[in-house]
Structure 1
Amino acid sequence: MEQTINIEQIFGILRKYRRLILSSTIVCTLLAVIVTFFLITPQYSASAELLVNRKQSNDANAQWNQVQTDVQMINTYKDLITKPVIMSSVVKKINKGNNQKLDEATISDMLSVSNNQNSQVFSITAKADNAYTAADIVNTTAQTFQKKAPKIMSGTDNVSIISEAKPNLKPVSPKKQLNVLLGFVIGIVFGVGIAFLRELTDKTVKEESFLTDELGLTSLGIVNNIAEKDLIKKAIMSVSASRLSRRG
């Protein structure tokens, strides 16, 4: 038999399980706070910008072709930057005098390269658990690439660093407010879900109308639930009354 719930019943269920929903919300919010503020390591980001632009010709058509060539070369540069030919030199410079030794794969994973469509400028960005490390990795990578690009690309010297990375002491992750809000919302949703699940899987008869209206049975009466202590009390009173009647 299909079971339907109206608006009044929904609010009734929410009132009935309000403590469960409140507890779930508090627990999930506290978990989000603990994970966000104490367990997740903050990540810092730094970026440098490079310009791809060779010496322009006086001819307008040649200039346009050179610009298009530079834009297309950025895609090659983006792939080249994180390759061992660049990373091997970056790793040596980063690890020099540094107690924490990083390998090529680790630094490559920290880096990302991006550019806007049809732009001759592209960005190198690094994320690390230290703001100064992130900036150092980006600047070292940019300088190494600028130095090695002409040799790798057969004398094509068209890369300039237009903006060096600076340490940004404000972490980019985790998003503390967002994480706490998500924990709060998840707590409410989880609590409401459990409340409705318990209510819908509860097969006990709660109202007489269910027997008469839904099942079409005839009501012969209602037997109230009597607590065990009340039964004991009534039994004692019944025995006492019986003894008194005998004495009389």
Structure 2
Amino acid sequence: MEFQDYVAILRKRWVSILVVALAVVAAALAATLAATPSYQARSQVYVSVRSGGTTADLVQGSNYTQRQVKSYSDLVTSPLVLAPVIEELGLDTRAEVLALAVTATPVVDTSLINISVTDEDPGRAAAVADALAASLAVQVNELEPPTADGQSPVLISTVRPAVEPSAPASPSPTRNLALGLLLGLAAGFGVAVLREMLDTKVRDEDHVAQVTESAVIAAIPHDDSAVNDHLIVQSNPMSLVAESFRRLRTNLQFLSAEEQPRALIVTSSLPEEGKSTTAANLALTLADSGARVILVDADLRRPSVANYMGLEGTAGLTTVLIGRASLEDVVQPWGAGHLHVLTSGQIPPNPSELLGSQAMAHLLGQLVQRYDHVIIDTPPLLPVTDAAVLARLTGGAIVVVGAHKVHRHQLEEGIRSLETVNARVLGIVLNRVARKQSETYAYDYSSDPSQTPRSVSERRSDAPPPPRRSTKAASAEGLDLTGTRLPAQGVAGLDAALGGRGGNRWPGEPLGEPSDQAPRHSRA
């Protein structure tokens, strides 16, 4: 990771870092309040040598004491010095325990020794420090070999008696809180870096670039108000989300000037990444531009296009593939524009085989001849193979990536499944991207709602689409896959089951007049 990566983590996860830091500070404060105050008293002794009055003797004695100071400092915490102190002061402890509260430190390049004692009682701490200084002098006199006059050559004198401390040495609230803050910030940043390294979810275009070289051709922002509004291009055409779908349309049209795909699939790695919503809104924007578009629901496991568009879904793609109806019979117009919809029909027991059949290839050929754009909604790539099967029969695939939903290895595996069958990945649509503050504007120049322009599909018809009929009702009229039969009334009955939207119109014609008033035609 580079420096800018750490800066990005800091900006992204500063809240969690601050929470961890505050938690550590709170723990330090609690430990400070719970700790028993302890006091520290210090006495200081001076080590000298009895010698003659000549300069040489003084220099020799000074060098000797400086060499011996370290040994005398270690001697302070020995039982030889501690035991007399315990006995003198009547302390209820042992020499080994008392040694833990005593520190003897020689002052560098001097003959001084600082003796510090820590105790819960400030008076006792001072008394023990002074007693240790006196005991050290006695023990050194006994240990050093006497001179000719019977005296010890080393003299230890107390130069600074201990003073009873007025404030505890520990705990120190200021020091503990400062240390807790520093440790908390370090721990919080460490946790943030660890979470970033372990978090493999796709969140932005940089994460997509780590997985695939396919370009991100659109980033659809997340909008809480549009979570349950699947046709945002029709219901709120001036929103930022709707404008993002128009940008997708534009980028798709200029993606390949030499080989413009007439038929493409819209898929994702996992369910609920927004592929069906993307397919529906892409079809709407293409139809709004004046192109003849058909939206095909090829998700034969969990179809949703009929529900989103408010159309009858019991007769559709599967009905055509099993030969029980023609394409003209089941295609339904939507609104009053150039958009037609081929719903899924009833769910078959063998979706993959049906989608990979010759009948499906023939149907796609028909659709490509009659429409400018064929948008096919397919199941996700990882759970089933339906999308990969269809990708071989079309001009390519648009892969929808749900930000904060799919992991990088899942996206990589999904794209690999397309590459395995030599399918063309047209681009990536990054869906539900978190918007920055600078992007919270609305694409609307008019303050008068009555002057707000509407999409072509909405402008051509203000009438709501007919309600979708239940599968049970359609089955009662005679259409099912197991029986493989049409309604008793034939094509006319099927058209009635579709609310007058099926067999009396030719796919690809303008939807303003019925087919008996306009000649049938097809695109070469």
Larger relative helix fraction: 1
Aligned residue for 1:102?
A: 93
How far off is 1:83 after superposition? 2.3
For residues 144 and 213 of structure 1, the distance between their equivalents in structure 2, rounded to whole angstroms, comes to 73
Which piece of structure 1 moves more, 103-112 or 79-88?
79-88
SS at match of 2:214: coil
Which piece of structure 1 moves more, 147-156 or 128-137?
147-156
For residues 104 and 111 of structure 1, the distance between their equivalents in structure 2, rounded to whole angstroms, comes to 10
Aligned residue for 1:37?
A: 33
Matching of residues 224-235 of structure 1 within 5 Å: 235=307
SS at match of 2:24: helix
Among 185, 189, 206, which residue is 1:192 paired with? 189
Summarize the Cα distance change of 1:44–1:205 in structure 2 as closer, same or farther, 3 Å threshold. Answer: same
For residues 23 and 190 of structure 2, the distance between their equivalents in structure 1, rounded to whole angstroms, comes to 15
Among 217, 233, 241, which residue is 2:467 paired with? 241
How far off is 1:31 after superposition? 0.9
Aligned residue for 1:84?
A: 79
Flag the structure with larger Rg: 2
What root-mean-square deviation, in Å, do the aligned CA atoms of Structure 1 and Structure 2 show?
Answer: 3.7
For 1:129, the aligned partner's letter is E
For 1:204, the aligned partner's letter is K
Among 157, 163, 167, which residue is 1:170 paired with? 167
For residues 148 and 170 of structure 1, the distance between their equivalents in structure 2, rounded to whole angstroms, comes to 32
Residues 167-220 of structure 1 deviation map (CA, whole Å, 9 limit, x = unaligned): 112223334222212222232233333333333333333345765796223668
1:23 aligns with 2:19: yes
1:115 aligns with 2:106: yes
For 1:238, the aligned partner's letter is G
How far off is 1:236 after superposition? 8.9
Among 44, 64, 75, which residue is 1:49 paired with? 44
Residues 129-164 of structure 1 deviation map (CA, whole Å, 9 limit, x = unaligned): 322221111111112233343233243161222221
Which piece of structure 1 moves more, 79-88 or 21-30?
79-88
Q: Percent identity?
A: 19
Residues 33-58 of structure 1 deviation map (CA, whole Å, 9 limit, x = unaligned): 111232x3333221112222344423
For residues 18 and 70 of structure 1, the distance between their equivalents in structure 2, rounded to whole angstroms, comes to 58
For residues 236 and 71 of structure 1, the distance between their equivalents in structure 2, rounded to whole angstroms, comes to 93
Summarize the Cα distance change of 1:51–1:242 in structure 2 as closer, same or farther, 3 Å threshold. Answer: closer
For 1:46, the aligned partner's letter is A
Summarize the Cα distance change of 1:188–1:140 in structure 2 as closer, same or farther, 3 Å threshold. Answer: same
For 1:151, the aligned partner's letter is E
Which piece of structure 1 moves more, 22-31 or 201-210?
201-210
Q: TM-score, normalised by structure 1?
A: 0.75
For residues 213 and 66 of structure 2, the distance between their equivalents in structure 1, rounded to whole angstroms, comes to 78
For residues 174 and 35 of structure 1, the distance between their equivalents in structure 2, rounded to whole angstroms, comes to 9
Summarize the Cα distance change of 1:102–1:26 in structure 2 as closer, same or farther, 3 Å threshold. Answer: same
For residues 207 and 176 of structure 1, the distance between their equivalents in structure 2, rounded to whole angstroms, comes to 44
Summarize the Cα distance change of 1:142–1:198 in structure 2 as closer, same or farther, 3 Å threshold. Answer: closer
For residues 3 and 52 of structure 2, the distance between their equivalents in structure 1, rounded to whole angstroms, comes to 76
Which piece of structure 1 moves more, 149-158 or 163-172?
149-158
How far off is 1:59 after superposition? 2.2
SS at match of 2:310: helix
For residues 206 and 170 of structure 2, the distance between their equivalents in structure 1, rounded to whole angstroms, comes to 56
> Alignment length, in residue pairs?
238
How far off is 1:5 after superposition? 6.3
For residues 217 and 13 of structure 1, the distance between their equivalents in structure 2, rounded to whole angstroms, comes to 26
For 1:93, the aligned partner's letter is E
Aligned residue for 2:130?
A: 139
Summarize the Cα distance change of 1:161–1:213 in structure 2 as closer, same or farther, 3 Å threshold. Answer: closer
Among 54, 64, 67, which residue is 2:62 paired with? 67
Cα pair 2:22 2:184 within 8 Å, conserved: yes
